[in-house]
């Protein structure tokens, strides 16, 4: 595929991409430093999850397989509570759920947007991440059941995320709102942030993105360089999901590829990604783009962890540490926004 002539920060990205080569020169050393539990989870990701993603092409079966995997691999925290709700704004309604870990929220609301290559994903797969993030940050966790491709290509998922956000924004009990998302959900998190800023709507106090996919041209070097190193994502599956979501639409659209978005005026953003992921460059490029727009960005990189390793929270110290960092980031951002009189509380305009 040819280079993308529209890349907004191409001149600033070469140092980021080149500098990582030294970090990848000794992958065996990085692997040896992982906890025993994470090593076992890496094996599970590589030899169970990745082959399943590559082999199962039927979307109905892929979604069922995803749920079975969630039951097997992910740990629901003690005291988990869930309340299913519907969120409505401007005549649109989306299914959602409040997720908690037997704690009382005191620090606003966290809207979580799950990933899954735009074609799979559900509450059973991410509820433990939401509950843990919410508990550690002191927020009320909210899951949004956004519509999946190929049945519902762009902009359905983004529209659902916007509906959920606007409904929460209109609720005085929400307090300051933050948004977090993983992989395709990280894409929707950043695309929603761009849309809100473009419309003049009060943006979230902060955003967290776990290994976001931000350029749906799929041309970044790590997509090929890390194809074998990535323990979870087969590119055939990633390409299928992107094609289903695009459904022939232009990936230069900033609501599709947020790397082309405008983020001036956004609150702080945390991006976590691993140097062995196929989406490593997406995370680094997005951090550069946000900084170029004057956004306060924290980019945390790890080595030898699978794509969205945060889903193993409760099962590995590496995942626990990353989720704890994200929760502390959200908590501090909400506190800083409250002190400055910022943070999403009421919309500036509909």
Sign (positive/negative) of CA torsion 182, 183, 188, 193? positive
C-alpha 180 chain-centroid distance: 6
DSSP class of residue 320 equals: H
Tell me how far apart the alpha carbons of residues 206 and 176 are, in angstroms, rounded to a whole number: 9
Tell me how far apart the alpha carbons of residues 34 and 306 are, in angstroms, rounded to a whole number: 12
- Collapse the DSSP code of 174 into the 3-class scheme (helix H, G, I; strand E, B; otherwise coil) and give the result: coil
32 as an active site residue: the answer is no
22 CB contacts (<8 Å, ≥6 apart)?
none
Q: Which of 183, 222, 257, 322 is catalytic?
A: 183
C-alpha 232 chain-centroid distance: 16
Q: 270: which strand partners?
A: 208, 298
Our CA angle for 206, 210, 215, nearest 5°, is: 95
- Collapse the DSSP code of 236 into the 3-class scheme (helix H, G, I; strand E, B; otherwise coil) and give the result: helix
**Closest by Cα among 207, 133, 143 to 176:** 207
Structure tokens belonging to residue 289: 């783009």
Active site residues: 183
């Amino acid at each position: 595929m040819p280079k993308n002539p529209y890349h907004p920060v191409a001149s600033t990205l070469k140092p980021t991409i080149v500098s990582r080569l030294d970090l990848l020169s000794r992958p065996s050393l990085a692997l040896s430093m992982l906890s025993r539990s994470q090593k076992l989870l890496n094996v599970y990701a590589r030899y169970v999850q990745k082959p399943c993603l590559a082999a199962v092409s039927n979307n109905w079966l892929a979604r069922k397989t995803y749920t079975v995997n969630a039951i097997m691999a992910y740990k629901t925290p003690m005291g988990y509570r869930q309340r299913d709700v519907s969120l409505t704004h401007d005549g649109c309604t989306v299914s959602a759920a409040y997720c908690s870990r037997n704690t009382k929220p005191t620090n606003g609301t966290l809207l979580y947007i799950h990933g899954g290559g735009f074609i799979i994903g559900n509450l059973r797969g991410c509820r433990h991440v939401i509950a843990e993030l919410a508990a550690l940050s002191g927020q009320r966790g909210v899951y949004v059941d956004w519509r999946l491709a190929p049945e519902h290509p762009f902009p359905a998922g983004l529209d659902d995320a916007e509906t959920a956000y606007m409904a929460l924004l209109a609720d005085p009990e929400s307090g300051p709102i933050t948004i977090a998302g993983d992989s395709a959900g990280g894409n929707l998190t950043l695309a929603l942030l761009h849309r809100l800023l473009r419309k003049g709507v009060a943006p979230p106090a902060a955003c967290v993105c776990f290994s976001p996919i931000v350029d749906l041209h799929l041309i970044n070097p790590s997509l090929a360089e890390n194809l074998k190193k990535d323990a979870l994502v087969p590119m055939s599956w990633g390409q299928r999901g992107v094609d289903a979501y695009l459904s022939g639409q232009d990936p230069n659209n900033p609501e599709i590829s947020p790397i082309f978005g405008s983020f001036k005026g956004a609150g702080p953003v945390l991006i976590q990604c691993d140097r062995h992921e196929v989406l490593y460059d997406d995370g680094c490029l997005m951090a550069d783009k946000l900084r170029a727009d004057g956004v306060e960005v924290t980019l945390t990189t790890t080595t030898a962890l699978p794509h969205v390793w945060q889903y193993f929270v409760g099962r590995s110290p590496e995942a626990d540490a990353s989720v704890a960092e994200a929760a502390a980031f959200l908590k501090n951002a909400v506190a800083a926004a409250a002190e400055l009189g910022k943070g999403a509380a009421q919309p500036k305009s509909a």
